[in-house]
Structure 1
Amino acid sequence: MTEQPSRRATRVWRRPMRSRDRAEHHRVATPLELLFDLCFVVAVGQAAAQLHHALAEGHFGHGVLSFAMVFFAIWWGWLNFSWFASAFDTDDVPYRLATLVQIAGGLTVAAAVSSAFEGDFRLMVAGYVLMRLALVVQWLRAARADPECRPSALRYAAGITLVQLLWVAFLWVPHGAQLPAFVVFAVLEMAVPVWAERRHGTTWHPHHIAERYGLFTLIVLGEVILSATNALKEGTAEPGHLGALISLAAAALVLVFSMWWLYFDRPGHARLVRSPTMFTSMSWGYGHYFIFGSAAAVGAGLEVAVAYDTGTLHLGGVAAALPTTVPVAVFLLSVWLLHIGPTNECRPIAIGFPVAAVLVLAASFTPAPIHVTAVLAAALVALTVVATHGEPQPG
């Protein structure tokens, strides 16, 4: 059996944008996709930093709502690029240039995070629309070159374009009506793939998609570590708190490591391969908004905890704990729903995740909430190791 030549063995200026094989072997993330992720992590870091500032000032409702809106723009731009690349990545010059425009849009979104938290969405919308219209160009290329996928590609192009017109109109929506308008427009954005894939789905690659989501999870967890490290660095300047900060740093490290372990313990592609339906792919892909968002929010929560332990935060103990415990609980529940499942054959794990999430929320009322949360997360890791000992990994 002869080996097929690599698609990337010969560099050409332009290739037809054909669908890739869903069963293609050794389908891994490309260097361009990794660069795309690194540029988007800037936006994630900015969103987490602004969330921290809002929480530290006691503006919980405004901070969480603004973070959710900003993070949607970041997440949705990343998600659409990743799923398109899984099905149509040609890696020619026009494809790379269109990706460059998407990166420029993502960096513009990152630069607009602080103004969006203050209610000024002009720069945010400009970057977001730039990012999305660049993807429209990619879909039109796919429609021209791939007759089989042409109906879906044209639906994507038309749907995305129409919704971008709505986002531009969002700039003239009265302040009191912005939240309802945002919800409606976001739902319409998420409805475009459902409509476009209804008759003929694109040939995304399950292993490649799972790897892409895993890589972005790693990047977000890296932002958590960076946020905690910066907070600890600032905290050491406060005299008399070194012991408490060292203890908090150890708890934060255990917590982040446990989150990594729990997410990657089960192969991400297993559910996509086992049930490759549109509902499964959509629910799995869309559900990661809560995994990514909650993981990023943990970094902001740990910064609040550092400020509380050093006495520079004017909040009560419970109020200082909730910015960490709530996102950790959301993370555990999201991983449980997307990777484990309530009907999982391993009952200790199926029950352990939601129980751990409830106990993490209860930890907010303890004298050392971050430490208790870290212990609970580590205990859940130990439970998964013991419960699955000797069992083959799902493929």
Structure 2
Amino acid sequence: MTQTRSARPWYRRMTGRRPDEPHRSATPLELFFDLCFVVAVAQAADNLHGAVSEGHIGLAVGRYLMVFFAIWWAWMNFTWFASAYDTDDDVYRVTTLVQIAGALILASGVPRAFTEGDFATITVGYVVMRLATIVDWIRAAAGDPAHRIVALRYAGGVFVVQVGWLLRLALPDSWLAGSFLLLALAEVLVPAFAERPGMTPWHPRHIVERYGLFTLIVLGEVVLVTSVAIQTGLDAGDRQLWSLAAAGIAIVFALWWLYFDQPVAVSNQLRRALFWGYGHYLIFASVAAVGAGLAVEVNHERDDSHVSGLTAGYAVAVPVAVYVVTLWALHVRHRRRRWLTVACLCTVVLVLLVPLGPAPVHLVAVLLFCLVIATVLARRLGRSPDATAPEPTGSDGGPVGAQ
């Protein structure tokens, strides 16, 4: 007799979801997962701000990129797995809550990583999150025979890399940077290795929504960090920070507009899907770094930092430039609007030059405002049949990338 789904044992109930499932949207559990990651993002941005304000720029940037990799990679793997296999049963909820607990452990270790270079707590929290995903992948292997090989490849690959992270804790300090790069490379190669026999049934629109929601979360952190920094200055009686606050808000609004200006599509080709998904590391990290940079600029205006005006200006300009370049690569370049590409690249160049003059934050805000106008014009012109070029397609007929 064939068992119904409800009669299956718990480890066989995780079947793949339909990639064309209608009305698929983020679940309350996914939103709760994102909310708990806010703590880790806030810790990373706040400690970057503190370290840069103290003048430890190279050290701060390196440690920030490592910390944010752990945050982003754990979030991304949960997101793509949930898009394909979210059964919302009791076991799945428990493994997700374990991942949330790991995220909170990771967040608690961020200050020590910045001040002392001690990544032990972050590593433990990260490994807790990743080991919980192994349970999910084993369940997927048992419940989805069509993708069993893929799921087992994921489980095995994740396990091996986690052993590497734990062994890294015993290495001398001189090896930590090199070992991090090696293990981070191993992490990002696991999906490319695992998905090769056949891609898991993730939902394209659901993935786009999830990435958009996390972008909003990181933008919210920029607003929070900027607001707290400016409030501190105003409480101290510095009313000159109002214009800086206005410029910071304009930057946040522009970053939001540029990301959500047009609907996005994700290719169902593995290489292009990975490029789009991985590229968001720079989107998320740069947005959070903009908040830290604005806080550094506030400290400089209050003579409460150990960095020059040039450094404070670049603390905002560099992450903004990275954001615009990455957004162009992920969302803009496939629209076949050469003049919009020129506008993006000119904006990047000018943004990197404005710290050499006065009021860099205000000028960055103006440049982003001009870029927003350019994107709006490109969208309106694109509605004309004569101005619309056909989107390139892959061998499967799907779009070659985000558009």
Same fold per TM (> 0.5)?
yes
CA distance in 1, matches of 2:315, 2:370: 21
For 1:107 and 1:364, the matched residues in 2 are separated by: 36
Distance in 2, matches of 1:63 and 1:313, equals 15
- How many residues of Structure 1 are paired with residues of Structure 2 in the alignment? 378
Does 258-267 or 79-88 show the bigger shift?
A: 258-267
CA contact (8 A) 1:344 1:350 kept: no
1:212-250, CA deviations, whole angstroms, 9 ceiling, x for partnerless residues? 0000000000000000000001111333x30x2110011
SS of the equivalent of 1:26 reads coil
2:253 alignment partner in structure 1? 257
The 5 Å alignment of 1:272-351 reads 272=266, 275-341=267-333, 344-351=335-342
Task: Return the offset for 1:115.
Answer: 1.2
Q: Deviation digits for residues 24-68 of structure 1, max 9, x if unmatched?
A: 111111110000000001000000011001100010000000000
The answer to whether the 8 Å contact 1:20/1:203 transfers is: yes
More deviation, 343-352/173-182: 343-352
Equivalent residue number for residue 369 of structure 1: 360
Give the aligned CA root-mean-square deviation in angstroms: 1.6
After TM superposition, give the deviation of residue 314 of structure 1 in Å: 3.0
Q: Which 10-residue stretch deviates more, 78-87 or 116-125? A: 116-125
**Structure 2 matches for 1:204-283, cutoff 5 A?**
204-239=202-237, 241-242=238-239, 244-268=240-264, 270=265, 272=266, 275-283=267-275
- State the 1:13 CA deviation: 10
CA 1:201 to 1:303, structure 2 compared with 1: closer, same or farther past 3 Å? same
**1:142 matched to 2:145:** no
CA distance in 2, matches of 1:237, 1:106: 33
SS class of match (1:236): helix
Alpha-carbon separation, structure 2, partners of 1:13 and 1:261: 47
Checking the alignment, whether the CA contact within 8 Å between 1:27 and 1:208 is kept in structure 2 is: yes
Alignment of 1:122-201 (within 5 A): 122-201=120-199
Point out the more displaced range, 221-230 or 356-365.
356-365
Partners in 2 of 1:32 and 1:390 — Cα distance?
40
CA drift at 1:122: 1.3
Distance in structure 1 (CA, Å) of the matches to 2:377 and 2:360: 26
1:110 to 107, 127, 142: 107
Partner of 1:6: none
Instruction: Give the SS at the match of 1:388.
Output: helix
| d(CA) in 2 for partners of 1:288, 1:13 | 37
In the alignment, which residue of structure 2 is the partner of 1:387? Answer: 378
How much has 1:390 moved relative to structure 2? Answer: 5.1
The answer on whether the counterparts of 1:13 and 1:92 sit within 8 Å (CA) in structure 2 is no
Taking only the aligned residue pairs, the percentage that are identical comes to 50
Tell me how far 1:315 sits from its aligned partner: 2.1
Give the drift of 1:317.
1.2
Task: Note closer, same or farther for the CA distance 1:236–1:17 as it changes in structure 2 (3 Å cut).
Answer: same
Q: 1:225 to 1:13 in 2, by over 3 A?
A: farther
**Structure 1: how far apart are the matches of 2:340 and 2:21?**
33
Q: Aligned partners of 2:192, 2:136: CA distance in 1, in Å?
A: 18
- 2:399 is aligned to none
On the 8 A contact 1:13/1:93 being kept in 2, the answer is no
TM-score between the two structures when normalised by the length of structure 1: 0.93
How much has 1:116 moved relative to structure 2? Answer: 1.4
For 2:301 and 2:228, locate their aligned partners in 1 and report how far apart those are by CA, in whole Å.
15
Q: Distance in 1 between matches of 2:336 and 2:290?
A: 30
CA distance in 2, matches of 1:238, 1:362: 31
Check the 8 A contact 1:156/1:192 in 2, yes or no.
yes
Shift of residue 121, structure 1, vs aligned partner: 1.4
The 4+ residue runs of structure 1 with deviation greater than 6 A are: none
Letter paired with 2:126: Y
In the TM superposition, what are the counterparts of 1:66-77 in structure 2 within 5 Å? 66-77=63-74
User: Counterpart in 2 of 1:45?
Assistant: 42
Provide the secondary structure at the position in 1 that maps to 2:37. helix
Alpha-carbon distance, 1:183 to partner: 0.1
Q: Following the alignment from structure 2 to structure 1, what is the Cα–Cα distance between the partners of residues 202 and 249? A: 35
3-state secondary structure, aligned to 2:26 = coil
The letter for the 1-side match of 2:169 is L
TM-score (norm 2): 0.91
Deviation (angstroms), 1:312: 1.6
Give the superposition deviation at 1:364.
1.1
Task: Give structure 2 stretches of 5+ with no counterpart.
Answer: 1-5, 392-402
For residues 291 and 354 of structure 1, what CA distance do their matches in structure 2 show? 16
